[in-house]
Structure 1
């Protein structure tokens, strides 16, 4: 999952924003990810110690649902530029 995020994040951002805004969008996305990675584990561990890990997971459920709904509403669809099939996928393996 993490490898897929790092592999696809830049390509998706480049399709979502105008060319002039790509550096700013990349900085925001990767900066936000770094902050989240630095603080999520310690905060989660602390809250898990106070309330138990199950309570922390259940408390995050509404936040995740709101985030999902916001993404569905706010993000445009990104249709494929060309037809995708298995030949195309295997053709990628031939590229150096």
Structure 2
């Protein structure tokens, strides 16, 4: 289920991104929502994040995925289905959509 977010989530870490997504009316998914929606494990999502392929909005220890992150993840999954490596998929992502390297 989607976690309902309110203004109380506006904190020092990731608050600007979180507030912007809320104000835009963007539906935010938790990591659990993403795992269920795309039938992947939490570990897989964390792996893609560690590799710099997706970048959720972080608020403390929580991860929230906006529509841009979900679209990027769908592209990654399609690339995997077509047989591309993660390195090839990363290279194909538009530069303005690539999350910053950690």
Report the structure, 1 or 2, having the larger helix content: 1
The alignment's TM-score, normalised by the length of structure 2, stands at 0.31
Bigger RCO of structures 1 and 2 (CA < 8 A, at least 6 apart): 2
Report the structure, 1 or 2, having the larger strand content: 2
